[in-house]
Amino acid sequence: MADLKVTIREELTLNDYDHGARNSITISDIDEVFRRIVTCPANNETTVARFRSSVGNVSGTATFDSALDVQDVKYVRLTNLDSSNSLKLSLQIEVGEDDTGADTSTTVLVEAGKSFMLGSPHDGIGAVASGSFNANLVTDLVDVDSLVVQPGDNAVNVEVYIASA
């Protein structure tokens, strides 16, 4: 077991004043790390991580043949390594939490050189049903099923870093 220390640091001097910030967190009891750099081909969806209730094979998937234990994952980071192209990161959401796959999704833009971070994918995201335009706060959280990169017209490299207990 080991501790993962994550530090986020911004450096900014504006009008001769330091407006930088630094925040650190230590995540304890890490004994597994999943780290890979993936080339995501242009105009294709690439599954870069998948989560299930237990580690093992995921049937019916050609792009990613194993899963990380959703309850053991404590930290997730995806970094767009491209210097000029953005990507769309789709968080596939498993509302039923029954290992049958995603029921819905949400997508965020990850600009060139920037990162997306998530704590635990277990009960780590909320979603409103498709077609609903309800602006109420979503408080019922469910599991993230997988992370899918949509790079657009240009291939991009992404780094995936996941720490688990």
Asked if residue 16 belongs to a domain, the reply is no
> What is the C-alpha separation between 80 and 60, in angstroms, rounded?
27
Asked if residue 117 belongs to a domain, the reply is yes
Asked if residue 150 belongs to a domain, the reply is yes
| pLDDT by residue, tens only, the chain of 165 residues | 999 999 999 999 999 999 999 999 999 999 999 999 999 999 999 999 999 997 765 554 444 457 999 999 999 999 999 999 999 999 999 988 888 889 999 999 999 999 999 999 999 998 776 566 666 778 889 999 999 999 999 999 999 999 999
Which domain range does residue 87 map to?
29-164
Question: Which of 119, 123, 88 has the alpha carbon at shortest distance from 106?
Answer: 88
Residues β-bridged to residue 51: 68
Contacts with 104 (C-beta within 8 Å, 6 or more apart), sequence order = 93, 95, 127, 129, 130
Alpha carbon 61 to chain centroid distance?
19
**Total domain count, the chain:** 1
pLDDT for the residue 66: 75
Asked if residue 135 belongs to a domain, the reply is yes
| DSSP code for 125 | B
Task: Tell me if 157 sits within 8 A of 82, measured CB to CB.
Answer: yes
pTM over cut 0.85? yes
pLDDT for the residue 136: 73
